[in-house]
Structure 1
Amino acid sequence: MATNIDEPVLTVDHLDLMPDDGNRYELLEGEIYVSRAPGLTHQRVIGNIYLTLRLYLETTPIGEVLSTPGVIFDQFNGVIPDLVFISNELKDRIGTGEKITEAPELMIEIVSPGKENAERDRLVKRRVYAKHGVKEYWVADPEARTLEIYRLKHRSLALVATLAGKDEITTPLLPGFACTVNQIFNS
């Protein structure tokens, strides 16, 4: 009789055992993913989106935008997204801890070069984020200079738009917010 032995599943406790070596360690469905520190283009796009959202939130104080926070969904899923938006209501619920322990309303990833990174952001993370109730997910691709917007529909994050150039980015999560795709990719 054959015995099927599954690979050991890792938990978020294992993330604390990872070396402090400048890499980004994330856990998705019990599997560890390691990414190098983001490159300059990646950082510039993060900065542009952060600044645009921050300026909006100064005049419309409905929440806050955070860069590379730890988000722990459950014991098998812990990520470090590039940016998140959390509403004031969610901020009050999660308190003053160092990690976000509920699904942010909006999560944003900037695709790093490489097929594996693109697949992780567009497939694996999207599936995990949907499973845990993220309402909206943006995937910015600096190489293609596009922004994909996914919205939660029937427990799945469905692609609702792929924007480029002068296309305007809007979301029901941020009433009155608008910027162009060019604004987030210009350095």
Structure 2
Amino acid sequence: MVQAKPRFSSFEDYLSYDDGTDKRYELLNGELIELPPESGENISILGFLYLQLAPLMGHLRVRWGLELEVRGEPKNRYPDLTVIRDEHIQQLQPRNTIRLSMQPPLLVIEAVSPGLSNRERDYIDKRKQYQDRGIPEYWLIDPARATVTVLELADGIYRELGIFRGGDSIESSIISGLNLTAQQLLQAGQA
């Protein structure tokens, strides 16, 4: 017997759905779109970055797999890493989802996967949704370009705080005490 794909008329309906798996989905026009797994290179980079951020921000504030409700389509995103506010720690106990009714996280980080559609999603689509959501800082770690782009929200618009390459020290208005170069971060993904 073939099961029909579930359709959801609201984000609340989607939040109550459980297919009994650990799969992650984006909700696009009422339908579930399964997210592919991250590349090994990106996982290595993100794991290294998590280890750098956790002592500076507190391990409870740096999150993997956090779901973020956004406006537009899809209705949700899963940033690769997210730095949350103190108030989110309690709010996220029942479900690791930051709703539109909650304050935005402080920082979202995406490791750009290979391919034009992935690049457009991270550099254009997610940028618009994260900007609209009012997230103060957005990082794009791009192994193919060997860059780390840090965007800062100013007057409701993302502006480049910097595009960091090689031995450039990555700057952040959210994270103080960060002592990390683009090269150190990007090399963490190389075998």
Structure 1 and Structure 2 fold alike (TM over 0.5): yes
Which AA in structure 1 matches 2:179?
A
Deviations 1:43-80 (A, max 9, x none): 1111111111013235xx8x711112112246962111
Structure whose residues are more often strand by fraction: 1
Cα deviation, residue 85, structure 1: 0.5
Provide the aligned length of Structure 1 versus Structure 2. Answer: 176
Partner of 1:79: 77
Q: CA–CA distance in 1 between the matches of 2:180 and 2:18?
A: 38
Q: For the structure 1 residues 143 and 109, does the alpha-carbon distance in structure 2 shift closer, same or farther, using more than 3 Å as the test?
A: same
Partner of 1:179: 180
Q: For the structure 1 residues 150 and 11, does the alpha-carbon distance in structure 2 shift closer, same or farther, using more than 3 Å as the test?
A: farther
Deviations 1:97-140 (A, max 9, x none): 31222311100001111111110111111111111110000000
Q: CA–CA distance in 1 between the matches of 2:125 and 2:118?
A: 10
Partner of 1:125: 126
Partner of 1:162: 163
The aligned runs of 1:27-176 (5 Å cut-off) are: 27=27, 34-57=34-57, 64-73=61-70, 77-91=75-89, 94=91, 96-98=93-95, 99-101=97-99, 102=102, 103-176=104-177
Which AA in structure 2 matches 1:80?
Y
Q: CA–CA distance in 2 between the matches of 1:85 and 1:95?
A: 13
Cα deviation, residue 141, structure 1: 0.5
Unpaired runs of 5+ residues, structure 1, are 1-7
Please say if residues 167 and 182 of structure 2, whose CA atoms lie closer than 8 Å, have aligned partners that are also in contact: yes
Q: For the structure 1 residues 145 and 21, does the alpha-carbon distance in structure 2 shift closer, same or farther, using more than 3 Å as the test?
A: farther
RMSD value over aligned CA atoms?
3.0
Please say if residues 23 and 36 of structure 1, whose CA atoms lie closer than 8 Å, have aligned partners that are also in contact: no
Please say if residues 133 and 155 of structure 1, whose CA atoms lie closer than 8 Å, have aligned partners that are also in contact: yes
Percent identity between matched residues is 28
Moved more, 128-137 or 158-167: 158-167
Q: For the structure 1 residues 133 and 30, does the alpha-carbon distance in structure 2 shift closer, same or farther, using more than 3 Å as the test?
A: farther
Q: For the structure 1 residues 15 and 110, does the alpha-carbon distance in structure 2 shift closer, same or farther, using more than 3 Å as the test?
A: farther
TM-score (norm 1): 0.78
Which AA in structure 2 matches 1:67?
W
Please say if residues 72 and 129 of structure 2, whose CA atoms lie closer than 8 Å, have aligned partners that are also in contact: no
Please say if residues 145 and 185 of structure 1, whose CA atoms lie closer than 8 Å, have aligned partners that are also in contact: yes
Q: CA–CA distance in 1 between the matches of 2:72 and 2:143?
A: 32
Unpaired runs of 5+ residues, structure 2, are 1-6
TM-score (norm 2): 0.77
Cα deviation, residue 87, structure 1: 2.7
